[in-house]
Structure 1
Amino acid sequence: MPFVTIDGQPLHYIDQGTGPAVLLAGSYLWDQAMWAPQIAALTQQYRVIAPDLWGHGQSGPLPQTTTSLDDIARQGLALLDHLDIECVTLVGLSVGGMWGARLALSAHGRINGLVLMDTYLGEEPEPTRDYYFSLLKQIEDAGVITPQLLDIIVPIFFHPDIDQKSALYQDFRASLAALPADRLLQSIVPMGRITFGRADLLPRLHELNADTTLLMCGDQDQPRPPAETREMAELIGCPYVLVPEAGHISNLENARFVTEALLEFLAQRN
């Protein structure tokens, strides 16, 4: 498995397939395996790179110098430089979209297509920011994601009617329950605070290229409701697509729909 040292820490990523490059940037609390259905399809025609966020999957802890999503975007650009990738289509879901958009704004010439999924580039609304910060404080104090916190956190990522006995739901719950204290304290909690304490990027959305940008959102996404996607699409002037019967992790809850939409978008870009 390939690693690259960035800001003094090992960043893990996968690099599979050949062809035009696609960078998949995933959600907070998920590793690159969340993209498995898309990787299987896209690698037939494209070179797919999917990093693990700091403290997630096999990546090392959050570098101490990392204090904002701009830092995460800079590190993403360093990964592209390491791989000698001059131009890439970036697909970012949730926090992946938050830092992915920052990368696109800071390095216009490196991004030939941008798909922002189940994400929001404005600042976190104060009530939800305070709520998420309170959950992070409870995790920090406990040194573990307790069963009570799992009951709160896990459903956030899925549409309300998901079968809680399904492998998708139970595997995610088990992965969170297994996170060790050092990883929670060094990476997961501070990464959460960076994500939910992010600065407002809405005033800069007009700088994104509307002709090469697509927004997608699960039609039942709870933390990032479709209204936010519509707001951003209007500011950018680009199209948006709602993913039917899907919540926040729309690429897994309706993998076929998302994969087909991405393949269509990529075919237009390359």
Structure 2
Amino acid sequence: MPVAVIDGQPLHYVDQGRGPVVLLGSSYLWDRAMWAPQIEALSQQYRVIVPELWGHGESGPLPAHTRSLDDLARQALALLDQLQIAQVNLVGLSVGGMWGARLALLAPERVNSLVLMDTYLGAEPEATRQHYFSLFKMIEDAGAIPEPLLDVVAPIFFRPGIDHASALYQDFRKVLQGYPTARLLDSIVPLGRLIFSRADVLEQLSRLDADTTLVLCGEQDTPRPPAESEQMASLIGCGLSLIPDAGHISSRENPDFVNEALLTFLANHA
């Protein structure tokens, strides 16, 4: 994988295909594998860039002084600058959508089109914020994601009825289990706290271009339920599509539907 040094740390990224650039922003706790079906499908017509979050995949630790999602947006812009990419079609899922929308608000001239997937631009509801922070404290204290906690964290990302014996579920669980202590403490936990203590930017969404924005959400997404996507699409004035048979990581649970939705949208906007 190619690497760029951003804020003093190595950021690894996928760079595959040729054509208009599609920048894919990933979910917390997922590396480039969450976009595997989309990389394969989109790179036939587009240049697909997938940066791995700090502490995820092969990327280095969270850089010092990274305090907010605005910093993640600024770091993504720094990557585009290094690659001399003037404009992207940005597709962000979960935290990828959170920093992706901020990037579009910060530098609208750099974003040709925007897809917000399974994400939310409001503040985290207080009850879930406190729940996630309690999980972070347990991980911090243990220096690992303990076995019982794996069975709390892993299901969050999938539709309720997923087969826990499936390769998709088991592979993700093994990734969580395999995080070394240093990575959990220097990147995963601090990044999680940053994400779930984010500021509310819903009032800024009307500044996004409704004609070049699309909201997608898994019909069975538990952490980012469709009602949140409906609220955002209404504030932006853009289209909304619900993804059947999918929870939070809709890109992997219903890749055919997601690929078709993205290819159709990009054909009209890229």
TM-score under structure 2 length normalisation:
0.99
Aligned to 2:7: 7
Aligned to 1:221: 221
Aligned to 1:111: 111
CA-CA distance at 1:50 after TM superposition: 0.2
Distance 1:158 1:41 in 2: 22
Distance 2:264 2:49 in 1: 19
Instruction: Return structure 1 stretches of 4+ with deviation > 2 angstroms.
Output: none
Aligned to 1:132: 132
Q: What does the per-residue CA deviation read over 1:54-74, in whole Å, with 9 as the maximum and x for residues that have no partner?
A: 000000000011010000000
Asked whether 1:211 is paired with 2:202, we answer: no
CA-CA distance at 1:34 after TM superposition: 1.0
Unaligned stretches of 5+ in structure 2? none
CA-CA distance at 1:31 after TM superposition: 0.4
Q: What does the per-residue CA deviation read over 1:219-239, in whole Å, with 9 as the maximum and x for residues that have no partner?
A: 000000000000000000001
Q: Which amino acid aligns with 1:97?
A: G
Q: CA RMSD in A?
A: 0.5
Aligned to 1:251: 251
Q: Does the CA-based 8 Å contact 1:12-1:59 persist in structure 2?
A: yes
Aligned to 1:159: 159
Secondary structure, counterpart of 1:246 in structure 2 = coil
Secondary structure, counterpart of 1:33 in structure 2 = helix
Q: What does the per-residue CA deviation read over 1:179-227, in whole Å, with 9 as the maximum and x for residues that have no partner?
A: 0000000000000000000000101000000000000000000000000
Distance 1:240 1:247 in 2: 16
Q: Which amino acid aligns with 1:117?
A: M
Distance 1:5 1:266 in 2: 29
Asked whether 1:102 is paired with 2:102, we answer: yes
* Percent pairwise identity: 68
Q: What does the per-residue CA deviation read over 1:8-34, in whole Å, with 9 as the maximum and x for residues that have no partner?
A: 000000111000000000100000121
TM-score under structure 1 length normalisation:
0.99
Aligned to 2:30: 30
Asked whether 1:87 is paired with 2:95, we answer: no
Q: Does the CA-based 8 Å contact 1:23-1:91 persist in structure 2?
A: yes
Q: Which amino acid aligns with 2:199?
A: A
- Alignment map for 1:132-151 (pairs within 5 Å): 132-151=132-151
CA-CA distance at 1:100 after TM superposition: 0.4
Distance 2:162 2:235 in 1: 32
